Amino acid sequence: MTTLEERPASAEIGQPRRRKEDAHFITGRTVWTDNITLPGLLHLAILRSPLAHARITSINTAGAVGRPGVVAVFTGQDFAETQGSIPCAWPVTSDIVNPGHPSIAVDQVNHVGEAVAIVVARDKSAAQDALEAIDVDYEPLPVVLDMEAALAAGAPLVHPNTDSNRCFTWTFESGAAGTGQPIEEVLQAAEVTVSRRFVQQRLIPAFMEPRSTVAQPDGEGITLWSSTQVPHVLRTLGALTLGIPEQKMRVIAPDVGGGFGGKLQITPEEFICTLVARKLGKPVKYTESRSESLMSGHHGRDQIQDITLTARRDGTFTGLDVHILSNMGAYLRLITPGIPLLGAFMFNGSYKFDAYRFVCDGVFTTKTPTDAYRGAGRPEATFAIERIVDEMAVELGMDPMELRRKNWIEHDDFPYTTITGITYDSGNYEEATDKALALMGWDDLRREQADRIARGDPVRLGLGISTYTELCGWAPSRLLGVLAYAGGGWDHASVRVLPTGKVEVVTGTSPHGQGHETAWSQIVADRLGVPFEDIEILHGDTRTSPRGWDTYGSRSAAVGAIAVSNAALRVIDKAKRIAAHMLEASEDDVEFANGTFSVKGAPGTGKTIQDLAFAAFAAHDMPEGVEPNLDADATFDPVALSFPHGTHLCAVDVDTETGRATIRRYVCVDDVGEVINPLIVDGQVHGGVVQGISQALFEEAVYDADGNLTTGSFVDYLLPSAPDVPSMITDRTVSPSTTNPMGVKGVGETGTIAATPAVVNAILDAVRPFGVTDIPMPCTPERIWRAINETSDASEGERP
Amino acid sequence: MTQLRVTVDEVAYQDDVEPRLLLVHYLRDRLGKVGTVVGCDTSNCGACTVLLNGRSVKSCSMLAIQTQGRVITTIEGLAAENGGLHPVQQAFHDEHALQCGFCTPGMIMAACDLLGENPDPSEAEVREGIEGNLCRCTGYQNIVRAVQSAARTMADSEQTAGVAR
């Protein structure tokens, strides 16, 4: 097989190619699921529970049934025997409690927004209007909102078929695991101990395209168009759960308008559409409103983190003890219980420890289920470690950057096996940090900060640091097995050189904004020596792309792209054999450059890859043992994760009179390994950082005391608009990953993972002189103002 | 039902519509102008933005009947008939100002309106000008860049046109 070293020099990889997918988006020639119409298409509307916790005592649908345009009305009872449960693919412990998750509630509702009844009508407004004519009698049950109260003895149960609201307890301890010393000994011997409680507020992924599904039944089979990140997972788990022969189930993810983990799900709505379409034998469509999306699409984060960091007096870290409560919400969805555990291997961040313990309790509440949201477990972990390192610096009276330098994994230490037992592949924290400090003008900002304090300026300057490491490229299938995940982590690709020399590439990744059509084309163009424009990337349809694990967890470049590259290299391998045969030369004497195979030392003898594609198609004279057609498949299963890292620096102006924090300068230097397309990588960083900033400053899903989501529209759930966020300065270092042949690491989540603690650390740096040691997120003007004015250290009327 | 006469992307239409029909549903469901999308229902996100007599409106918060006798331009009617992109469309492509593309039609229409009012906006003015349009992917940075770049292109072509005159 052709090795990587023999590949032609890169003309495409590393270039800022403008995206080929843009053309149809900028002209409005898009195919969102909601755009799809079919002959006889019916429209579906969902009646949702207005109560957080209640028994359904009766449902009267008679008023809706006879209304104009209404075709059918269904309740949970109609599907009680057929709907099964929304699958949870990650039962993290052997004794995990999974109460089951019906797509339509049958006799009890457990969160506001849960589906209770379905109207099917000839048009969408008729379906929606008829919802009002359905009468549901509820018998309210006590709501369960607070995680600690939920775990207390005698707490009301979310699910009557369980004996506690505890879903699971998952533990890692370095002494027991043999990856370090016993944590208790290290804690007891500690010279300096800092303990904090941080709260990761509940967030909503808030992709811009509301979720939508069209289901078209066909005999035993069905075709689903859905706004999903995971068409392959949906096909297999849909077939398994609903008893559809998998070979007769086709899932298509057309243009998908963002996901951020929010569409990494098998949704009740997808199953409801499937069940209804099969029952009626007619195609149906459901598109959610934004309020439905915010209420019933899964949420993210929502953890209480108790963290203790110990160190010697010289600042050397010794132990890290983490206990988190992780809010599952009312049900387990696709990977709900696994999300906090993705952070288990990241609380240690960029640093060395003698001992580590991580204990996570999953807790049921009567809120919307949680699951993946950009970063998924890793932003939570990064926030906690980067925040408490700053607190330790204060405790020790050390500069926070010096404390980081003292404890991080040095460049010469890589590959480095951390206290969790995972091996970081490569990194250069020193270089990334030095570059970031220079770009930031750090020392000048520090001087300005001191000046402002000295002159009693009411607008204080704060400087925040986040030197993060994250784990990307989900995932080695073997590792997923160890973690009790039900699926694999490989990905698949086919490269087909068509008779005319144009190229079709099939990928198992499922992009929804990441630019795979462009990036994968760059890879194939380089490998095959064909023009970028001649390559078409096929994805998101299980009929044309039958194998794959889709797009999430910063996996597409680190796994899917490698499969694409390997398949292309296999095409070259095959082409070389055909070329040698046609050129009557030994394979060893044939060389390949710029799309042409020629005999060494005999220029002008060449066969282009296009010539060879036609020859292999006609197949008049194939070499012995070589099959017709110029194509190849590859499946790549990584041997290990990859570990991007970087240094993010944030300068924030805090107006101490109004409490408003404004980001003044933001620098990020990220190391995501080799870069396929810098334009796309920068775009991922920009968007990721803004989502991280947004957790720090703006977003929070809020429930009232009755369990109602009060942030149920974009009027109340605050997404930042353009004036709310800064332009940032991005740069990179490149430490190629050693766990895949292209040296790429993954970039989809880095910004979100890195940014939040940089911003909060900056705000605290600004207000620490007032005695403030923590501000809950989001750090709104009110919270910052209260922290300044209600902290006991801050003396009345006097400003430190 | 009320009769609506309206011009959309240079085609004149005459349709009977329900008085409660929202403009965006008229465009999408009756005319098949599905390039214009619905993102939020509360006029916060701006994904449904179109131009009405040259000024941007959120088509989810306007009744179809309110456009009586007027001229609408959607994302589908922005490019020249020969397929030549509008400078704002071209700039969005050149500056990588879109990722998932869902907010893009509305964002481009809002940018067109902004540049009509202020042909040379500063970064802060661009940010204020597109405040009514949400994007969850790009962090706005490249959108701001694209709008400023389109402004330069449009100024240059104005100048060229001026010289030609």
| Rounded CA separation A208/B103 (Å) | 7
| Rounded CA separation A633/A625 (Å) | 18
Mean pLDDT, range A170-196, rounded to an integer: 98
CB within 8 A of A431, min separation 6: which ones? A411, A733
- What torsion, rounded to 10 degrees, do the Cα atoms A290, A293, A296, A301 define? -120
CB A369 within 8 A of CB A298: yes
Residue type for position A517: E
Taking an 8 Å cut-off on Cβ atoms, the answer to whether A722 and B98 are in contact is no
Chain A interface disruption, residue of B38, B72, B96, most A CBs within 10 A: B96
Chain A interface disruption, residue of B136, B138, B142, B144, most A CBs within 10 A: B136
Taking an 8 Å cut-off on Cβ atoms, the answer to whether B100 and A513 are in contact is yes
| Rounded CA separation A662/A667 (Å) | 15
How would residue A434 be classed by pLDDT, with cut points 50, 70 and 90?
A: very high
What pTM did the predictor assign?
A: 0.97
A248 touches chain B (CB under 8 A): no
Q: Do residues A605 and A465 share a domain?
A: no
| Rounded CA separation B152/A614 (Å) | 47
Q: Do residues A625 and A646 share a domain?
A: no
Chain A closest-CA separation from residue B134 CA (Å): 6
CB A123 within 8 A of CB A67: no
Q: What is the model's pLDDT at position A8?
A: 46
pLDDT at A2 over 80: no
Q: What is the model's pLDDT at position A323?
A: 98
A456 touches chain B (CB under 8 A): no
pLDDT in tens, A591-602: 999 999 999 988
Residue A238 lies in a domain: no
A257, A691, A714 member nearest B100 (Cβ)? A257
The DSSP element (H or E) to which A182 belongs, if any, is: none
pLDDT at B107 over 50: yes
B75, B139, B142 member nearest A28 (Cβ)? B75
Q: What whole-number percentage of chain A has pLDDT above 70? A: 98
Taking an 8 Å cut-off on Cβ atoms, the answer to whether A208 and B140 are in contact is no
A17 touches chain B (CB under 8 A): no
- The answer as to CATH 2.40.50.100 being correct for domain B2-77 is no
Q: List chain B residues with CB under 8 Å of A715.
A: 42, 44
A185 touches chain B (CB under 8 A): no
For residue A457, the enclosing domain spans 422-471+642-800
Q: What whole-number percentage of chain B has pLDDT above 70? A: 98
CB A647 within 8 A of CB A466: yes
Q: What is the model's pLDDT at position B81?
A: 81
Mean pLDDT, range A147-151, rounded to an integer: 98
Mean pLDDT, range A522-543, rounded to an integer: 97
What value does the mean pLDDT of chain A take? 96
Query: Residue B34: which of A123, A43, A288, A209 has the closest Cα?
Result: A209
CB within 8 A of A190, min separation 6: which ones? A310, A311, A318, A319
Taking an 8 Å cut-off on Cβ atoms, the answer to whether A513 and B137 are in contact is yes
Mean pLDDT, range A767-774, rounded to an integer: 96
Find the distance separating the first CA and the last CA of chain B, reported in whole Å: 49
Taking an 8 Å cut-off on Cβ atoms, the answer to whether A682 and B108 are in contact is no
pLDDT at A797 over 70: no
Chain A closest-CA separation from residue B164 CA (Å): 29
Q: What whole-number percentage of chain A has pLDDT above 90? A: 96
| Rounded CA separation A531/A526 (Å) | 9
Phi first, then psi: what are they for A453, rounded to 5°? -65, -45
pLDDT in tens, A657-700: 999 999 999 999 999 999 999 999 999 999 999 999 999 999 99
How would residue B165 be classed by pLDDT, with cut points 50, 70 and 90?
A: low
A39 touches chain B (CB under 8 A): no
A22 touches chain B (CB under 8 A): yes
Taking an 8 Å cut-off on Cβ atoms, the answer to whether B108 and A26 are in contact is yes
Q: Do residues A683 and A748 share a domain?
A: yes
- CATH of B87-164 among 1.20.120.1200, 1.10.10.10, 3.40.50.920, 1.10.150.120: 1.10.150.120
Mean pLDDT, range A442-469, rounded to an integer: 98
Q: Do residues A561 and A542 share a domain?
A: yes
Q: Do residues A676 and A536 share a domain?
A: no
Question: What count of CB pairs under 8 Å joins A to B?
Answer: 168
Q: Do residues A781 and A684 share a domain?
A: yes
Which residue's structure tokens are 């610096």? Answer: A393
Q: List chain B residues with CB under 8 Å of A688.
A: 139
Taking an 8 Å cut-off on Cβ atoms, the answer to whether A683 and B138 are in contact is yes
Residue in chain A nearest B85 by alpha carbon: A27
Q: Do residues A463 and A545 share a domain?
A: no
pLDDT at A799 over 90: no
B38, B131, B137 member nearest A258 (Cβ)? B137
Q: Which of A568, A603, A636 lies at the terminal end of a domain, its last residue? A: A636
Q: List chain B residues with CB under 8 Å of A515.
A: 99
Q: List chain A residues with CB under 8 Å of B39.
A: 208-210, 290
Q: List chain B residues with CB under 8 Å of A23.
A: 93
Q: List chain A residues with CB under 8 Å of B105.
A: 25, 28
Residue in chain B nearest A749 by alpha carbon: B137
Chain B interface disruption, residue of A18, A22, A676, A698, most B CBs within 10 A: A22
Q: Do residues A626 and A656 share a domain?
A: no
- Note which residues in 735-754 of chain A have CB less than 8 A from chain B: 751
Structure tokens at B32: 């098949």
Q: What is the model's pLDDT at position A669?
A: 98
Residue A43 lies in a domain: no
Taking an 8 Å cut-off on Cβ atoms, the answer to whether B142 and A683 are in contact is yes
pLDDT at A5 over 70: no
How would residue B80 be classed by pLDDT, with cut points 50, 70 and 90?
A: confident
| Rounded CA separation A291/A709 (Å) | 10
Q: What is the model's pLDDT at position B162?
A: 67
Q: What is the model's pLDDT at position A283?
A: 98
Chain A interface disruption, residue of B29, B63, B100, B138, most A CBs within 10 A: B100
Residue A212 lies in a domain: no
Q: Which of A636, A671, A687 lies at the terminal end of a domain, its last residue? A: A636
How would residue A7 be classed by pLDDT, with cut points 50, 70 and 90?
A: very low
C-alpha Rg value of chain A to the nearest Å? 28
Q: Do residues A514 and A596 share a domain?
A: yes
What would the DSSP string read from start to end of A496-563?
EE-TTS-EEEEES---SSS-HHHHHHHHHHHHHT--GGGEEEE-SBTTTS-----S-TT-IIIIIHHH
pLDDT at A724 over 90: yes
Q: What is the model's pLDDT at position B82?
A: 84
How would residue A9 be classed by pLDDT, with cut points 50, 70 and 90?
A: low
Q: Do residues A694 and A734 share a domain?
A: yes
Residue spans of the domains in chain B: they are 2-77, 87-164
What value does the mean pLDDT of chain B take? 95
pLDDT in tens, A248-264: 999 999 999 999 999 99
Q: Which of A579, A611, A636 lies at the terminal end of a domain, its last residue? A: A636
Q: Do residues A502 and A607 share a domain?
A: yes
DSSP state of A67: S
DSSP state of A8: P
Q: What is the model's pLDDT at position B161?
A: 75
Phi first, then psi: what are they for A447, rounded to 5°? -65, -40
Q: List chain B residues with CB under 8 Å of A260.
A: 136
Residue in chain A nearest B40 by alpha carbon: A290
CB A646 within 8 A of CB A671: yes
Mean pLDDT, range B48-73, rounded to an integer: 97
How would residue A3 be classed by pLDDT, with cut points 50, 70 and 90?
A: very low
pLDDT at B2 over 90: yes
Chain B closest-CA separation from residue A750 CA (Å): 14
Q: What is the ipTM of this complex?
A: 0.97
Q: List chain A residues with CB under 8 Å of B128.
A: 722-723
A517 touches chain B (CB under 8 A): no
Number of domains chain A contains = 2
Taking an 8 Å cut-off on Cβ atoms, the answer to whether B98 and A26 are in contact is yes
Region of A3 (left: φ > 0; alpha: ψ -120 to 50; beta: rest) is beta
Q: Do residues A616 and A539 share a domain?
A: yes
- Residue A239 CB coordination number (10 Å): 18
Tell the burial category of A93 from Cβ atoms under 10 Å away from its Cβ (0-12, 13-18, 19+).
middle
Mean pLDDT, range A130-145, rounded to an integer: 98
B37, B40, B78 member nearest A714 (Cβ)? B40
Q: List chain B residues with CB under 8 Å of A257.
A: 37, 100-102
Q: List chain A residues with CB under 8 Å of B64.
A: none
